[in-house]
Chains A and B, each alone.
Chain A
Amino acid sequence: EDQVTQSPEALRLQEGESSSLNCSYTVSGLRGLFWYRQDPGKGPEFLFTLYSAGEEKEKERLKATLTKKESFLHITAPKPEDSATYLCAVRRGAGNMLTFGGGTRLMVKP
């Protein structure tokens, strides 16, 4: 059974204080690891897809990396507007649905 575990559940940072969010996964035949951002009252918003170990993708202050067992979302010099819940999900070889982790709630204080 596919499993996705995110840590920490919640993270409080000061503006400018860089950190990383972790996503550990167990899946048969990984066909993509996805990162999403979710704001309160909204649906998840797509950020990145990673396909193979060693791959990295960047967008503004965010950088996602992938190994064979986990993915990290690095946040460099965060701003209050980066506050949100970050979700990771995996797609496996059979079927197209995504299996999501429980999310990390990030709070960035000015």
Chain B
Amino acid sequence: GAGVSQSPSNKVTEKGKDVELRCDPISGHTALYWYRQSLGQGLEFLIYFQGNSAPDKSGLPSDRFSAERTGGSVSTLTIQRTQQEDSAVYLCASSLGGRSSYNSPLHFGNGTRLTVT
């Protein structure tokens, strides 16, 4: 079946511009996550959505970062007034939620590579 889909795959933007990154999770997955991976680094948690519950925003690095999930499916990560340090690969993942969540692995998309010039 279809996996997690992210778009665009690459995005180059000028410092100070806003960007939107999109994630389509696996159908039926109620949990959705955003991570950031800087060059040569591990994955840094950003935000987590579970069903209709309030999202866990504890990993967002600044108030320039926000995310929403409409209709319990597609999610958009928005970065306002981009800075050069925002350059990274932004990865989206989804998993089964609810009672199955504790033993459900995250399934990742291939990410959006963001370059801020």
Residues on A facing B (Cβ under 8 Å): 31-32, 34, 36, 41-46, 49, 51, 87, 89, 91, 95-103
User: Are the C-beta atoms of B110 and A96 separated by less than 8 Å?
Assistant: no
Residues on B facing A (Cβ under 8 Å): 4, 31, 33, 35, 41-43, 45, 48, 50, 56, 59, 91, 93, 95, 97, 101-103, 105-111
Chain B minimum-CB-distance residue to A43: B108
Chain A minimum-CB-distance residue to B91: A43
Contacts of A45 in B (CB 8 A): 108
Contacts of B43 in A (CB 8 A): 44, 87, 89, 98, 100
What are 9 sample pairs from A and B whose C-beta atoms fall under 8 A apart?
A43-B108, A44-B106, A45-B108, A49-B103, A96-B50, A98-B33, A98-B45, A102-B41, A102-B42
Taking a contact as CB atoms closer than 8 A, the residue among A49, A97, A102 that contacts B48 in the complex is A97
A81 to chain B, nearest CB (A): 19
Contacts of B105 in A (CB 8 A): 34, 46, 49
User: Are the C-beta atoms of B102 and A44 separated by less than 8 Å?
Assistant: no
Contacts of B102 in A (CB 8 A): 31-32, 91, 96
Contacts of B45 in A (CB 8 A): 97-99
Taking a contact as CB atoms closer than 8 A, the residue among B4, B91, B103 that contacts A32 in the complex is B103
Q: How far is the CA of A43 from the CA of B33 in the complex (A)?
A: 13
User: Are the C-beta atoms of B106 and A87 separated by less than 8 Å?
Assistant: no
Given contacts A36-B108, A44-B43, 13 further A-B contacts (CB under 8 A): A43-B4, A43-B108, A43-B110, A44-B106, A87-B43, A91-B102, A95-B48, A95-B56, A97-B56, A98-B33, A99-B45, A100-B42, A103-B42
Contacts of B109 in A (CB 8 A): 43
User: Are the C-beta atoms of A98 and B42 separated by less than 8 Å?
Assistant: no
B76 to chain A, nearest CB (A): 18
User: Are the C-beta atoms of B103 and A51 separated by less than 8 Å?
Assistant: yes
Contacts of B48 in A (CB 8 A): 95-97
Contacts of B41 in A (CB 8 A): 102
